[in-house]
Amino acid sequence: MDRLGESYDVADYLKRKGFAVKSVRGKELVLDCFFCNPPDTKGHLYINDDTTQFNCFKCGETGNIVSLMKYFGDKVMDGNLSDDDRKRIEEKKTAEEIWDVAADFYHKSMTDEVVDYLIKRGFQKSIIEKYKIGFARGGLRNHLLKKGYTIEQCKKAAVVNDNNKDYFYKRIIFPYKYNNKVVLLRGREFNSNSSKKFLSLKDYEIRLYNEEAIRKNEFVIIAEGELDCLMLLQNEFNNAVCIPGANSFKKEWIDKFDHCKIVYLALDADKSGKAGIERIAKMLGEKARIVQLPQGLDINDFFMQGNTAEDFQNLLNSAVSLFELKIYEIKDMPENIKRVELKNLISELVILDPFDLNHYKDIIIRNFNIGKREINEMIKMKKNKEHKENPETETQDIPAIELSDAEKQEAIILLKDPELLTRFLNDTEKIRFVGEDCNKLLLLLSMTSRKLDRPIDIIVKGPSSGGKNYGINNVALFIPEEDVQAYSELTPKSLYYRTDILKHKTLIIAERVGAEQSDYVLRTMQSEKELILSTVVKNPETGKNETKDIKVEGPMNIIESTTKHRIHDENETRSFDIFVDESEEQTKKIHQAQRMKYKGEDIDKEKITCPWKNAQRLLKKYKVIIPYVDQITFDTSTIRSRRDHERFLALIEVTTFLY
């Protein structure tokens, strides 16, 4: 509340409460809903950044900034809002009211001429009524003034221009609705000499038409223009939305399609439509499928030529990915440039997951005089080049270790030692990992918790060269190699395509800047204890798209390091924070350990750590009961304590488990 009066920012307010915005979709902020029980992890809470109105599409909770303040126990006073804040909220509210009145006025102003025009374009009167298509034939300004709105309010809402005339005069009007409110108006030229075929409200951002269809469907069609979208809706393709023009798709809209399995791109089959399709497909990635309309046609033309809904469904069924489209385009190129373009395309395949990679290899082999070995060589060359430019840690499967009777006996003696943790600290000193006793113990217990159902995750924080990764790697020496996977970088889907088993393993991410793009995947594994990726592939035999689920079983123990004091709130509240010792005393200890190496005193790290690895190999999961749990008290003043408390109990559990 301390800064709210100075700068009204609901995202900042929530951040100070420990909640981070997951994504921004136009004017809407998307978060995991903190009202939901069990907790939401899919981003169902939508908050309008202008009005602060919110709605959760999972639990149904609604309200505004005042509701949030009351929920978090903050004192709500009118003075918390600045005059500018109140003015801005009122202006937007008034504008939306005016748009709603204007949309109704325009719809009632429809002329027979406009209706006949739309009918000739293939539209039924029912669709005109349902989506409140209208016409600006004049008189809006006087109508709004009679409703009590001032001329300045009408100008602010952009429906009246600087000359006090109807901004959309002589245009067909398409109201954009969202949550049962008109959120935008767009006009299409009708029998006028205007230089602009389409007009959007001045100073207001464009939006997606029929946007609510995205939330309701896993398969969505993106058309170009309102008439094309309405034609699809008329033919019962209720999952259709549209962009105003081929090049109008905004990057910030991508998050709206997160839950979608397939997004069909059905833009006009012309030069600008093709460019728009490629641009959008690259942003959407593997879920994009390109609908190939006959050359020169748009969706409205397609149906006006006598094609049916079944014919359009066939186009959807035969939709291709961007890679497939490029393959077919290259196939029709002259021989002198075909080879060069094919080589460039194959080099792009390196970014794909193994499943899709094999799929596209097969398509290339079927369509070109090239073998799998040659394709693999091209991909290998590309990977080698990227590896030299961006070297990263690679992991290999390590076979299971069989212990001898002597090794088992030594490990059992170690595990039964009542001074087990003290002995561990002593052994870390022997390998010249000095100081940091508390951090060492937490790291050991965290890595040991990989064997339990509730692993304890850790983020090690400290300055560059402070010893973050050094500490993690030294403790990892006491853990079996086959149970540790280390990465310097994670792509958003790399964990989905591991061919080995990650369940009950420790995942180490060095300098988490390399894993920030995978934040959501890591959070999901921490909360849900598994990952499920639903991807769409084309069946090579039937030619139809099919859904394939890829499941990665957890849980796994995640250890990260970072130079940042704070990271994404949703990740941070799921982990223990530990900080490297930056004291001068610790620096002296490190210097002394470094000098030991130059005195010729060699150490056999493997001999020291091997019994610990074997002891870990012998550990078997069993249920731990805390009989005195009811006597434990814990801070309840913050929401994040709900996670901290369980992590504290998990720490007791793993300590008991190790002993």
In terms of domains, do 444 and 560 share one?
yes
Q: What is the pLDDT of residue 593?
A: 87
130 and 241 part of one domain: no
Q: Do 154 and 74 belong to one domain?
A: no
| 53 lies in some domain | yes
Lowest pLDDT segment from 23-27, 396-400, 420-424, 463-467: 396-400
CA atoms of 428 and 472, how far apart (whole Å): 12
The reply to whether 574 and 447 lie within a common domain is yes
Asked, for residue 191, whether it belongs to a domain, the answer is yes
Residue 433 domain flag:
yes
506: domain CATH number?
3.40.50.300
Question: Do 62 and 117 belong together in one domain?
Answer: no
pLDDT at 4: 38
pLDDT at residue 395 tops 60: no
CATH classification of the domain holding 276: 3.40.1360.10
Task: Report pLDDT digits (tens) over 140-160.
Answer: 999 999 999 999 999 999 999
Q: Which residue has the higher pLDDT, 442 or 76?
A: 442
Report the percentage of the chain scoring pLDDT > 90.
Answer: 46
Q: What is the 3-state secondary structure (H, E, C) of 13-34?
A: HHHHCCCCCCEEECCEEEECCC
Are both 426 and 560 inside the same structural domain? yes
Which of residues 288, 319, 350 is at a domain's end?
Answer: 319
Cα(380)–Cα(371) distance, integer angstroms: 14
- Total domain count, the chain: 5
Alpha carbons 262 and 592: distance in angstroms, whole number: 60
560 and 415 housed in the same domain: yes
Considering the domain boundaries, does residue 188 fall inside one? yes
614: closest CA among 444, 418, 478, 452? Answer: 478
Tell me, yes or no, whether 592 lies in a domain.
yes
Whether 228 shows a pLDDT value over 70: the answer reads yes
Query: 634 lies in a domain?
Result: no
The yes-or-no verdict on residue 512 having pLDDT over 90 is: no
Of the residues 361, 389, 417, which one is the last residue of a structural domain? 389
**248 and 272 assigned to the same domain:** yes
Position 642 in a domain: no
pLDDT class for 50, splitting at 50, 70, 90?
A: confident
Which tokens sit at 182?
Answer: 């008109």
More confidently predicted of 103 and 639: 103
pLDDT exceeds cutoff 50 at 1 = no
Burial class of residue 237 (count of CB atoms within 10 Å of its CB; 0-12, 13-18, 19+): buried
293-331 pLDDT tens trace: 999 999 999 999 999 999 999 999 999 999 889 888 888
What mean pLDDT is predicted for residues 579-602? 85
Write the CATH number for 16: 3.90.580.10
Residue 516 identity: E
Kindly report the average pLDDT of the chain as a whole number.
Answer: 84
Range of the domain at 341: 324-389
C-alpha dihedral (53, 56, 62, 64), degrees to nearest 10: -30
Task: Please tell me the distance from the alpha carbon of residue 651 to that of residue 367, in angstroms, as a whole number.
Answer: 58
Find the mean pLDDT for residues 445-473. Answer: 89
pLDDT band at 111 (very low <50, low <70, confident <90, very high): very high
Using the structure block, give the residue that is written with the tokens 């999972």: 58
User: Do 161 and 260 belong to one domain?
Assistant: no
State the pLDDT confidence band at 54, using cuts at 50, 70 and 90: confident
Among residues 57, 81, 105, which one ends one of the domains? 81
Whether residue 620 has pLDDT greater than 80: yes
180 and 254 housed in the same domain: no
Q: Could you report the per-residue pLDDT of 430-444, keeping only the tens digit for each?
A: 999 999 999 999 999
Q: Do 328 and 302 fall within a single domain?
A: no
pLDDT category of residue 476 using cuts at 50, 70 and 90 = very high
> 654 CB contacts (<8 Å, ≥6 apart)?
445, 446, 448, 449, 452, 456
User: In this predicted structure, which of 182-191, 338-347, 478-487 has the lowest mean pLDDT?
Assistant: 338-347
Q: Are 133 and 161 in contact (CB under 8 A)?
A: no
Strands 23-25, 28-31: pairing is antiparallel
CATH code at position 114: 3.90.980.10
Residues 103, 150: one domain? yes
Choice between 599 and 204, residue whose per-residue pLDDT is larger: 204
Token output for 501: 């088993």
Instruction: Assign 82 a pLDDT band (cuts: 50, 70, 90).
Output: low
In a domain, 607, yes or no: yes
The mean pLDDT value for 157-179 works out to: 94
Task: At 358, list the tokens.
Answer: 């094999």
